[in-house]
Amino acid sequence: MMKELVWKALPAKVQNQLDALAEIADLFGEMTNPKVLASLGPAGIKGLLLKQGKQGKPTLARARHSAYFDWSYPSDQPEMRDLFRRAKAGQWDSDRDLAWGTSVDPLNPEVPLLPSNFVDFDALSSYGVHLDAREKVKLNYSLCAWMLSQFLHGEQGALYAAAQVTEAVQFFDGKLYGSTQVMDEGRHVEVFSRYLNDKLERLYHVNDNLFVIIDALMTDARWDMKFLGMQIMVEGLALGAFGTLYRVTKEPLLRDLLRRVIMDEARHVHYGVVALREHIRTELSDAERREREQWAFEIALMMRNRFLAYEVYEEWFEGRISRAAWRDVVTRAPGMCEFRQVMFTRLVPNLREIGLMSPRVVADYDRVGLLQYVKGKSAPELSGEQMLADLDQPVALSFSATA
């Protein structure tokens, strides 16, 4: 009671600052394994406290891995060699294959970037914010640009991570495959950047939590942590986000762009599962497996709880509603619920497949509502074409794309 009275007496700005600090403390408090804390802690300080991604200048992440050379050039991993063949055949050229001449008007209600019920505007109203029809379309424009900006920042991380793992892995067929992924990620940076620049004319700062994940895996010397962080976790997040946007947007250029990117990403996750499956099950000690299990769980929680578009809040609502109210609105937004569902449908079966879903963490996933996804198809069982066919199923929608 006393605590509540003191809280209410604080200026709104101070409440928001304390709310942000409490979120950071929560994150560190959740990390019970000291090795997980040691891995994510320095990145957490750079991203959450120092906000290095938002300083308007380049940042340096010091790489510490070793490049692994093999002078005998073995054919050692048939599944990776097959992925390499498929990746070569699946290359596309953004200049040639995308209709960049398409005129995109982010405020045209006839061709909405996001469906009108992506956010629950009644929930916003319940906090005293009443938007008119034009403002609602503008807010959706901001949210779409925010999501695409995060995709772009994630793709920059993916480009460097793909280059790092190509150097670091011991599988020679993996190195050949990795070279195609570097090209893929370069193309993804190109297309998201071009779409944001030319069509939406917006770019948001990198989300602090995304910065933390990227920084942690870039600076970790262990190749399998890079794979786990990028190929399984961030790519899982990306597939969830790309899939949701692909499913709901009516803008044809964006839809085509996402369709092509999803086809590439499906191969990337497949490669991650193949590379980690045997390694985690047979080459790691129990303590090493336990560390990776807990690390993956912490990242899954971050991805579930912490991609809350605070950058859009600061632009639109700071001073009008509290940060906590915005968190409530975004967490319950139908579009964000859909995104979490698609993301974990992709991610959790892959964690099972690589052996990071032992009985000791199953209860944790169950406690936070993520165990329901465990029986789904893992990446090697699901091609990019099947993934797109699933996304094209209107029955799977939790809200109407045409609303």
Instruction: Please report how close the Cβ of residue 151 comes to Fe ion at its closest, in angstroms.
Output: 8
CA-wise closest residue to 219 among 347, 27, 20, 45: 45
State which residue, 120 or 265, has the beta carbon closest to Fe ion.
265
The interface with Fe ion within residues 147-176 (CB under 5 A) comprises 155, 158
User: Which pair of structure tokens corresponds to residue 2?
Assistant: 């006393």
What are the two backbone dihedrals, phi and then psi, of residue 333, each rounded to the nearest 5 degrees? -60, 130
Instruction: Find the shortest distance in angstroms from Cβ 265 to Fe ion.
Output: 5
- 268 counts as binding Fe ion under rule CB under 5 A: yes
Residue 370, CA distances (Å) to 303, 305, 333, 374, 381 in order = 12, 12, 18, 8, 20
Separation of alpha carbons 346 and 374, rounded Å = 9
What whole-number distance in Å separates Cα of residue 192 and Cα of residue 206? 14
- Determine the residue type at 45: I
Of 82-90, 184-192, 201-209, 359-367, the window that binds Fe ion (rule: CB under 5 A) is 184-192
Span interacting with Fe ion, options 111-119, 199-207, 263-271, 380-388, rule CB under 5 A: 263-271
% helix, strand, coil for the chain, step of 5:
70, 0, 30
Report the residue number, 237 or 296, with the smaller CB distance to Fe ion: 237
Measured distance CA(335)–CA(139) in Å, rounded: 13
239 lines the binding site for Fe ion (CB under 5 A): no
Sequence-distant (6+) residues with CB within 8 A of 274 are 77, 79, 80, 83, 380
Nearer to Fe ion, 268 or 327 (CB): 268
**Number of residues assigned to the chain:** 403
Q: Which stretch binds Fe ion (CB under 5 A): 3-11, 50-58, 165-173, 177-185?
A: 177-185
Q: How far is the CB of 27 from Fe ion (least distance, A)?
A: 25
Q: How far is the CB of 133 from Fe ion (least distance, A)?
A: 35
Closer to Fe ion by Cβ: residue 158 or 182: 158
DSSP class of 109: T
CB of 79 or CB of 291, closer to Fe ion = 79
Give the interface segment with Fe ion, choosing from 58-66, 265-273, 289-297, 384-392 (CB under 5 A). 265-273
- Candidates 38-46, 58-66, 216-224, 261-269 — which segment interacts with Fe ion by CB under 5 A? 261-269
Half-sphere exposure of 51 (CA within 13 A, CB side): 9
Burial class (CB in 10 A: 0-12, 13-18, 19+), 360: exposed
Which parts of 340-379 interact with Fe ion (CB under 5 A)? none
Q: Output the smallest distance, CB 268 to Fe ion, in A.
A: 4
Closest separation in Å from C-beta 155 to Fe ion: 5
Task: Please answer whether residues 374 and 402 qualify as being in contact, where contact means their C-beta atoms are separated by less than 8 angstroms.
Answer: no
Q: Which residue has the tokens 């480009």?
A: 159
- By CB under 5 A, residue 275 contacts Fe ion: no
Are the CB atoms for 161 and 198 separated by under 8 Å? no
In whole angstroms, the minimum distance from the beta carbon of 339 to Fe ion comes to: 17
Residue 16 token pair: 């928001």
Structure tokens at 179: 């070279």
User: Collapsing DSSP states into helix, strand and coil, what is residue 73?
Assistant: coil
Residue span binding Fe ion (CB under 5 A) among the ranges 43-51, 185-193, 352-360, 376-384: 185-193
Least Å distance, CB 182 to Fe ion, is 10
The CB-of-239 to Fe ion minimum distance in angstroms stands at: 9
Q: Is the Cβ of residue 265 or residue 311 nearer to Fe ion in the bound state? A: 265
Count of chain residues binding Fe ion (CB under 5 A): 6
Which CB sits closer to Fe ion, 137 or 262? 262
C-alpha dihedral sign at 353, 343, 393, 98: negative
Task: Give 61's DSSP letter.
Answer: -
**Please, which residue, 267 or 340, has the CB nearer to Fe ion?**
267
CB of 169 to Fe ion, least distance (A): 16
Question: 191 vs 325, which CB is nearer to Fe ion?
Answer: 191
Q: What is the DSSP string of 240-254?
A: HHHHHHHHH---HHH
> By C-beta, is 117 or 149 nearer to Fe ion?
149
CB of 185 to Fe ion, least distance (A): 5
Query: Is 188 a binder of Fe ion (CB under 5 A)?
Result: yes
Our CB check for Fe ion shows the closer of 158 and 176 to be 158
Cα 147 to Cα 242: distance, rounded to the nearest angstrom: 9
Using CB under 5 A as the criterion, which residues of the chain lie in contact with Fe ion when the complex forms? 155, 158, 185, 188, 265, 268
